[in-house]
Amino acid sequence: MGKRLTKRSEDYSKWYNELVVEANLAENSGVRGCMVIKPYGYAIWEKMQAELDSEFKETGHENAYFPLFIPKSYLSKEASHVAGFAKECAVVTHYRLKNAEDGSGIIVDPDAKLEEELIVRPTSETIIWDTFRRWIQSYRDLPLLINQWANVVRWEMRTRLFLRTAEFLWQEGHTAHATEPEAIEEAEKIMHLYANFAEDHMAMPVIRGIKTESERFAGAIETYCIEALMQDGKALQAGTSHFLGQNFAKAFDVKFATKEGKQEYVWATSWGASTRLMGALIMTHSDDNGLVLPPKLAPIQVVIVPIYKGIEQLEVIADKIDPLVKELRKKGISVKFDDRDTHKPGFKFNEYELKGVPVRLAVGQRDLENGTYEVARRDTLTKEVVPMDEVVAKIEFLLEDIQKNIFKKALDYRDTHITEVNSYDEFKVQLEEKGGFISAHWDGSLETENKIKDETKATIRCVPFEGEKQSGQCMVTGKPSQARVLFAKAY
């Protein structure tokens, strides 16, 4: 505390890393690429989980739990899947340690070698489809709508807290359907569910879209995504939903008897959102003073800081505050009354600013005399004096208004950072000078996509799902294009 954060304008990346650590969200551990999610960060994640979980359940999904380990042979069953995941996985080869004979310590027991190596799940399609084969016999067993909350491991070489870590937490949905249109409908439904969650709860505007072939999930026919824009003009993929066709059903031989008694392969989807959302949340709203949290996801929505000299004054304030705290809690608002005598009010103000608590009340001797509170809002950093009998209504208003305001602010930023260009030169200029999403025509070829990526580091984030498709000519090759796509540099 007390230490100022690096300014975003000076070094955005450094600002982010400092903020994550200083606001007690997460930190690096002694294990390469694996983070520790600290209580305050985890409390935000729990709020995200609770909301997503309830939305999954409302749309008919059930939670289950599948093994952490995947036999190596399972991973190999779907060809493009293994190609996508084999390069970055943690492999368990032994199941016992023992004392070294030379007394040098504990070593892996060479006699305890597994016959078949186990992969720590990078994603669970293979183990789940091996299970679905036992669960699905008839059309009566469909649709099968399963979700899992779990940890997964992808051995990333360059890691960043929340954004890219070797181990991360996520949910992964896996569904099986009788028909292709039903599976496509499910994959799209989840894209919209993710998008609504991002916008309504994270206050983070997103673009719904479809990935190009090169950016698709390994094993998918179509990958739907939501793409957000960070304050440094870089895009962040915040959730993906895949239509898997019959690829995994064929790889794991999952057939069902139709009403007519025919045996057919089932159609599949999978979809996931992870602790990466934490990184997106932090980068979308926060400022040089610290975290800015949307009230709907803030573990502490209102903090009350007493300003007093001596225990007697504190007791008077505490008595006054007590019914207010109770009333707010009754309304489902989470309140913290910070009566610690180990820290001064100024220190506390900074701390809650850093931690992004949406509303702060301060109350001192003079407020008691005047029957008022000082109410500060985190998003605009403005303060006002509010009569005590109006404070509950004020707080309710502010929690709604802050949620709306930070969404609007992020939306304004995003909307002014979608730039249409019609030439590759203009593309390069806009990408470097302005950043954000660049909307341009592309000929649909992997070659052109790669050329642009190699030359500019921009990737195609998505083909937007909504809006009219406008045909044109590729900005690089001049070949025909069906629709504009969105390019950006990305996390």
Which residues make up the interface to a second copy (CB under 8 A)? 27, 29-31, 34-39, 42-43, 46, 62-76, 82, 86-98, 105-106, 108, 117-120, 127, 130-131, 134, 140, 146, 150-151, 153, 155, 167, 169, 342
232 near 8, Cβ under 8 Å? yes
Cβ at position 21, least distance to a second copy in Å: 10
CA–CA distance from 201 to each of 42, 72, 389, 400, 489 (Å)?
Answer: 16, 39, 29, 11, 25
Which is closer to a second copy, CB of 33 or CB of 233? 33
Cβ at position 40, least distance to a second copy in Å: 8
Which is closer to a second copy, CB of 138 or CB of 470? 138
Cα torsion at 40, 42, 47, 53 (round to 10°)? Answer: 180
Cβ at position 148, least distance to a second copy in Å: 9
Cβ at position 298, least distance to a second copy in Å: 15
Cβ at position 43, least distance to a second copy in Å: 7
Which is closer to a second copy, CB of 64 or CB of 381? 64
Q: What own/partner pairs with CB < 8 Å and gap ≥ 24 does 443-447 have?
A: 443/474, 443/476, 443/477, 443/479, 443/480, 443/481, 444/479, 444/481, 444/482, 445/477, 445/479, 446/213, 446/214
The beta strands (E) that lie in 88-217 are given as 91-94, 97-99, 106-108, 113-120, 144-153, 167-177, 207-210
202 near 293, Cβ under 8 Å? no
Which is closer to a second copy, CB of 151 or CB of 179? 151
Which is closer to a second copy, CB of 150 or CB of 386? 150
Cβ at position 220, least distance to a second copy in Å: 20
Helices (H), 238-390: 247-251, 276-285, 310-330, 345-354, 365-370
CA–CA distance from 95 to each of 38, 373, 457 (Å)?
Answer: 30, 61, 43
Cβ at position 345, least distance to a second copy in Å: 17
Which is closer to a second copy, CB of 66 or CB of 442? 66
Which is closer to a second copy, CB of 325 or CB of 490? 325
